[in-house]
């Protein structure tokens, strides 16, 4: 039952594996939009206290704290000992994780 619309797709084949461009990652153009679409429904300044464990991710200064102490990537990579994030959402794609990791590796600049 219900298999009439079955597909056996994967994103690499469907969209190509070379779409992840991390050569010029910036906070404002690449990282902040990812937080806006995946995290800030709970982690905005307004809602963090009630929904996001007081972890704010809608401004550079706050993001930098969690980028530097390892909690950001620990949670996003859903490593043991960290809260798996996004809570109740799908894990960020490999390219999205790579984008944030590259930004951190490049010094987590406000650019």
Which residues are at the interface with another protein (CB under 8 A)?
A: 1-3, 5-15, 19, 37, 53, 78, 80-81, 83-84, 87-94, 96
By beta-carbon proximity to another protein, the closer residue of 1 and 107 is 1
The burial of 16, by beta-carbon neighbours within 10 Å (0-12 exposed, 13-18 middle, 19 or more buried), is given as exposed
Question: In the complex, what is the shortest distance from the CB of residue 91 to another protein, in angstroms, rounded to a whole number?
Answer: 7
Q: Output Rg (C-alpha) for the chain, integer angstroms.
A: 16
By beta-carbon proximity to another protein, the closer residue of 24 and 110 is 24
By beta-carbon proximity to another protein, the closer residue of 19 and 69 is 19
By beta-carbon proximity to another protein, the closer residue of 67 and 92 is 92
- DSSP-derived letter for residue 17 is G
Question: In the complex, what is the shortest distance from the CB of residue 107 to another protein, in angstroms, rounded to a whole number?
Answer: 26
DSSP states along 69-91: SSHHHHHHTT-TTS--SSTTSPP
End-to-end CA distance of the chain: 51
Question: In the complex, what is the shortest distance from the CB of residue 13 to another protein, in angstroms, rounded to a whole number?
Answer: 6
Question: In the complex, what is the shortest distance from the CB of residue 64 to another protein, in angstroms, rounded to a whole number?
Answer: 21
Question: Tokens in use for 5?
Answer: 């619309």
């Amino acid at each position: 039952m219900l298999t009439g619309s079955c597909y056996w797709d994967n994103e690499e084949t469907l969209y190509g594996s070379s779409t992840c461009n991390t050569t010029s990652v910036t906070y404002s153009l690449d990282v902040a939009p990812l937080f806006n679409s995946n995290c800030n429904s709970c982690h905005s300044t307004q809602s963090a206290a009630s929904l996001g464990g007081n972890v704010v991710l809608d401004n550079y200064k706050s993001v930098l704290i969690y980028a530097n102490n390892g909690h950001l990537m620990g949670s996003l990579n859903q490593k043991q000992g960290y809260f798996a994030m996004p809570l109740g959402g799908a894990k960020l794609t490999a390219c999205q994780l790579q984008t944030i990791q590259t930004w951190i590796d490049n010094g987590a600049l406000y650019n």
